[in-house]
Structures are given as structure tokens and as C-alpha cells.
Amino acid sequence: MGMLYDKLMKGYDPAHQTDGISGERLAKRLDAISEIGLTEDDGSHRPGFSKTEKAAKELVSDWMREAGLDVRQDGAGNIFGRIAGKNDDHPAILSGSHLDSVPNGGHFDGPLGVLSALEVAEAWRETGYQPEKPYEVVVFTDEEGARFNGGLHGSEAVVGKGDIEEKLKLVDQDGMNFSEVLVDSGLSVDSYVKAKRSPEEIEMFAEVHIEQGKQLEREGLPCGIVTGIAGPCWLEFTFTGEAGHAGNTPMNDRKDTLVAASAFIGRVNELPGSISDSAVATVGKMQVDPNGVNVIPGSVTLYVDIRDIYKETRDELIDRVMALAKKVAAKHQVNVDHVEKMRVAPVPIEEETQQLLEESFHEKAIKPYRLPSGAGHDAMIIGEKWPVAMLFTKSKNGISHNPAEWSDLNDCVQTVHVLKNFLEKVSAK
């Protein structure tokens, strides 16, 4: 076993080793996956459609077979391990996540969700339990999008989402287009399109994921119930004024776009709290032209990332940000134009599902705590077509996409216990 296993097992409480769930097995498997694409900084480097992602999927496929699951790969490279249900013609319940990573990422983002779903299957096998409905452990391809600066390609294939002609325009850093990358992975454009699953095949998808935030840590809780997955909207604003000499242009005769943009940014930061507790807005990228020390900025282009888990309040925030841009531009006597670069629908999680999760928390003697997901996940894509549930596991210091990413094994195992209890409830319904 490697360093990750030793670190995970340090302080692990064997009291969580019940109902067929093994923290030691989970630690061994997290450790084994961490060795695939391990970086010099002890991080993970498994881009989507890469040899390292494929090796990780093959390893998990082997574990699935050892656990008695019927394993198959679809035309997008997604892996499904199936357990027959007593009522096997019923739509399946799915659980899982992804194994690819950002460059030099952590060891929990993705693998924890896959291995949690598999651990439930292992526990059922050890305790002789067969679910009423079929159960599938799923590994989605290329969630992070490190290869094409845009991910979720595996889950999009399952849903049948996205314009394939637009995907074919994607080119990676090595100059390979989407079609060539698929072929290099033993797939094809045709097989990718045929990976779409029909609505009657699936009842629900449940995903475990690290929180990537600090709320659960502040509450001192091992895991929490996700209330919804925020849908991002990206707006590009360009403020246009007049460039001029910083020394010779009087202060009362300027059309300074950076001053206007600065006023706009400050107000954008104040807007979300007046609309929704879960809404956020971020200006994370800006370009100034001509960008000279002694030149009044003639134009500024900036990007606003707007998110909320509710479509109505997210869209209200979008409208108010656009209105604010016009108001600020008029006040500072500059022009402003905007382009909408992306708008993805939020995925609220049904109240009935959250209530069922709360029951599982109570039965496992864990205080239920609800929180939104500001980041996108495969569940966001699957949720456009089928009901989804999501559990967050506590993250140390909220760190993610970084080798320092960490979740305590005790918290991970408690999350698996909740997931198992919840899946049994859904299967019995």
C-alpha cells in the first residue's frame, strides 16, 4: 500500500466497519487509483480520454467484476457495472461519478463517488442483499474537461445532450480534434452518439462528491444533502471609451473604461445577496486595452460568472447584472456591449428526494444538513433527463483541484453508509 492508504487509515475508527462496508477496502482502492497518473507533487493527472483515465477505468472494471457486477462500456467510454434487481425489468438506479482529473488535481474529486457506489455493491454482496430494482455503478468519461477546456462529455452522451457538430470542432492542446481523440480511445463519433440511453432505462442517479467548500467543516459534519446544482451563465461585457494620455487629459474630460468597469465589479459583488441565499456572481477575468501604465484605458472586456440553483432567481440576477452594466456605462459616459457565452439550466433536487435522504441521515445518527452545489457535476447533466440525488463529503479547508485536496476516511465511510441506506429506500419504493 502507498502513502495515501497509510494517511487515510491513520485515525480511522473501526466502528464504521459495519453492514458490509469496509473503510479499509475504500482506502486501498483510493490509494490504487491515486498511483495512476501520480504527479511529482503527489497529485493526480488523468485527463479525459487519456491512457491514465483508461487505466483507472480498467482497474475499477476489474473490481466491479470481482464484486459480481456485469460490466460493459458504452460508445462514449462510460463504464457501467450492473447488479440485477429482483424486479429486473424495472428502470435502474445509478450511482457513481468520474475518474478523470484536472492537471495536478487531488485524489478524491471523482474517485470517491465511483468507489462509494461500488462499496455499496460490495456491502450488498457480503450481506447477501439483492435490491428490488437493478443497480448500476457508473464511471463517466471526461467530467473535468481538461482535454478540451470543457467537460461532462460522458454524461452528455448518456443524456444525448449537445450538438455533435459543435463537439467535432473541439481541438485539444496536441492539435487532435474530438473525432480523432475518440478514435484514439477505441471509440468513434457514431459510437458516441449511440451511447444515449432511453428515458425508461433509468429511474434515478445518485452521486457522492467531495464538497469542495467549507460549510460541512464549519458545521463539524461528515456529509450533507445537496439541495440543487447551480447552473452557470457566463456574460462577456466590453466597456468602450477613449484612450488618452494619462498626463495631458484632465480628470473631468475622460471616458475611462477601467473606472467604469471597477464600479460595475463592485456592484456586481453586492447583487446576489439581495436576490437569493444561494446565488453567486464572480468577475474572474478581465482584459484592459491598451494596458499601458501612462494610458487611460480605452476599452475593458470582463467576464461575469453567475450561478444559482434556482432558474428564476439565477435569471433575475442575470437581468439585473445586464441592467447594472448599462447604468454604470451611462454614468461614466462610456459604451457597453455584452455577449452571452453560456447559460446552463440549474438542477434543483426534488424535495421528496431530500426528505428521503434526511431519513437516511437520521437512521445513521448523523445530523442532516442541506447545502447547494455551486460547481457543476455529472449529476447536473443527468438531472436534465432523470431525477438525481447528491451527497457531499466534508472537504478539509475546502481545498479541491489541488494535491492538498483531502477528505477524512471516517467522513467518507459515513457518507457510504448514508448512500447505501438511501439506495435501499429508493429500491424498495
Cβ pair 106, 401 in contact under 8 A: yes
Domain with CATH 3.30.70.360 in the chain: 231-343
Is 98 labelled as part of a ligand binding site?
yes
User: DSSP letters of 197-233?
Assistant: --GGGEEEEEEEEE--SSHHHHHT-SEEEEEEEPEEE
Cβ pair 406, 217 in contact under 8 A: no
**Model confidence pLDDT, tens digit, residues 238-274:** 999 999 999 999 999 999 999 999 999 999 999 999 9
Is 417 labelled as part of a ligand binding site?
no
Mean pLDDT calculated for residue range 419-427 = 98
Cell 451527497, residue? 391
Cβ pair 98, 378 in contact under 8 A: yes
User: DSSP letters of 116-133?
Assistant: HHHHHHHHHHHHT---SS
Q: What is the distance of C-alpha 126 from the center of its chain? A: 31
User: What's the pLDDT at 189?
Assistant: 94
**Model confidence pLDDT, tens digit, residues 19-30:** 999 999 999 999
Domain with CATH 3.40.630.10 in the chain: 3-229+346-428
Q: For the CA atoms of the chain, what is the radius of gyration?
A: 24
DSSP type of residue 237: E
What fold is seen in the domain 3-229+346-428?
Aminopeptidase (3.40.630)
DSSP type of residue 310: S
User: What's the pLDDT at 20?
Assistant: 97
User: What's the pLDDT at 148?
Assistant: 83
Under DSSP, is residue 357 helix (H, G, I), strand (E, B) or coil?
helix
Angle of CA points 279, 106, 27, to nearest 5°: 115
Residue 246, C-beta contacts closer than 8 angstroms, at least 6 positions apart:
293, 294, 295, 296
User: What's the pLDDT at 15?
Assistant: 95
User: What's the pLDDT at 147?
Assistant: 82
CATH number of 231-343: 3.30.70.360
Residue 1 confidence (pLDDT) above 80? no
Is 270 labelled as part of a ligand binding site?
no
Is 16 labelled as part of a ligand binding site?
no
Q: From CA 197, how far away is CA 155, in angstroms rounded?
A: 10
**Model confidence pLDDT, tens digit, residues 52-100:** 999 999 999 999 999 999 999 999 999 999 999 999 999 999 999 999 9
Is 19 labelled as part of a ligand binding site?
no
**Model confidence pLDDT, tens digit, residues 305-345:** 999 999 999 999 999 999 999 999 999 999 999 999 888 88
Name the pTM for this structure.
0.88
Which phi and psi angles does 237 have, rounded to 5°? -110, 135
Q: From CA 77, how far away is CA 155, in angstroms rounded?
A: 10
Burial class (CB in 10 A: 0-12, 13-18, 19+), 11: exposed
Cell 455493491, residue? 121
**Model confidence pLDDT, tens digit, residues 168-209:** 889 988 899 999 999 999 999 999 999 999 999 999 999 999
